[in-house]
Structure 1
Amino acid sequence: MEEASADVQARVRASFERQGLMHHLGARIAHIGPGRVHIVLPSRPEVTQQHGYFHAGATSAIADSAGGYAAFTVFREDSSVLTVEYKINLLAPAEGDQLEAIGTVLKSGRTLTVCTLEVYASQGADRTLVASGQQTLIQIQARPER
């Protein structure tokens, strides 16, 4: 997998570190490439629902962040990113050792960017697609992140 430049990786990681929810969930960035970001969430009781599966909220949150940061990799340095909307389909119970959300830029425009979202659950060597979606993000010009 192609890696993003060192500057882009540093900008994405710095922004990710400021996200309280990702820290609270225990999520981490596993890959930053041009137009593609992977976020991993290990299984813990705090991110599950009553049947022991990963909660849909946790699944959706890491998918949203993966897509947002995928878009952020192609945005100008002096801009920031916000989600405009996203739709996610939960395809199977999310159970396993960890989830991996993959956000991929489908089309990047001057203002709006569309990403595809995939979330996989892993149990050992087995990997199952548990969620799929699409997202629209807006590039906010001349407003760098804090």
Structure 2
Amino acid sequence: MNPRIQASFDRQSMMATLGAQLVETGDGTATITAPILPGARQQQGFGHAGLTFSIGDSAAGYAALTLIPDTQEIVTAEIKINLLAPAIGDRLIARGRVIKPGRRLIVVTSDVYAETNGTERHIACLMGTMIPVDL
């Protein structure tokens, strides 16, 4: 794991609150997992869309961060989510990747899966734009 990216992730108090972990990064990719905790459920007991969106957005952002200089960070300019199925399972897995890198705009996507007993179900897809910012 890239120490700079892990340190950035560790500064996100929201990810800590959700119990999320950055589990893998590569060139233009990042994977984040989070348990579906009792405090992150909606009224029917499914994982809340806010949990799905949060880790999907962060996975996409960290995928972008892998491709920019160490003197910059990433912020989300815009991102859209399509919820495909309820977040039913033990944990969520968000896999982010860069679609089109750039100096000013980076187009990203993220797919989120609900996992139960090792079986994954695709529950959401996100697409957005990240902007590199100087530190």
Asked if TM exceeds 0.5, the reply is: yes
Q: Does 1:21 align with 2:18?
A: no
Q: Is the 8 A contact 2:81 2:127 kept in 1?
A: yes
Backbone CA RMSD of aligned residues:
0.9
User: Which residue of structure 1 aligns with residue 125 of structure 2?
Assistant: 132
Separation in structure 1 between the aligned mates of residue 121 and residue 11 of structure 2, nearest angstrom: 30
Distance 1:125 1:18 in 2: 29
Q: Tell whether 2:86 aligns with 1:115.
A: no
- What amino acid is aligned across from residue 123 of structure 1 in structure 2? T
- Flag structure 2 segments of 5+ consecutive residues without an equivalent: none
Letter in structure 1 aligned against 2:70: E
1:50 aligns with 2:43: yes
- Cα offset, 1:116, TM superposition: 1.1
- Matched residues in 1 for 2:69 and 2:118: separation? 38
TM-aligned CA deviation for residue 125 of structure 1: 2.6
Distance 2:38 2:96 in 1: 25
User: How do 1:92-111 residues align onto structure 2 when only pairs under 5 Å count?
Assistant: 92-111=85-104
- 2:29 aligns with 36
Match of 2:51, SS? helix
Q: Output one character per residue of 1:9-39: Cα deviation in whole Å (capped at 9) or x when no partner.
A: 1111000010010011110011111110000
Distance 2:22 2:71 in 1: 22
| Matches of 1:125 and 1:40, distance apart in 2 | 13
Measured in 1, the distance between the counterparts of 2:39 and 2:9 equals 20
Amino acid at match of 1:21: M
Q: How many corresponding residue pairs?
A: 135
Separation of aligned partners in 2, 1:41 and 1:125: 14
Find the aligned partners of 2:61 and 2:27 in 1 and give their Cα distance: 13
- Given that 2:57 and 2:126 are in contact with CA atoms closer than 8 Å, whether structure 1 keeps it comes out as no
Paired amino acid for 1:74: L
**Which residue type is aligned with residue 53 of structure 1?**
F
> Which stretches in structure 1 are left out of the alignment for 5+ residues?
1-5
Once residues 118 and 34 of structure 2 are traced to their aligned partners in structure 1, the CA distance between those partners, rounded to angstroms, is 16
> TM-score w.r.t. structure 1 length?
0.90
Post-superposition offset of 1:123: 0.5
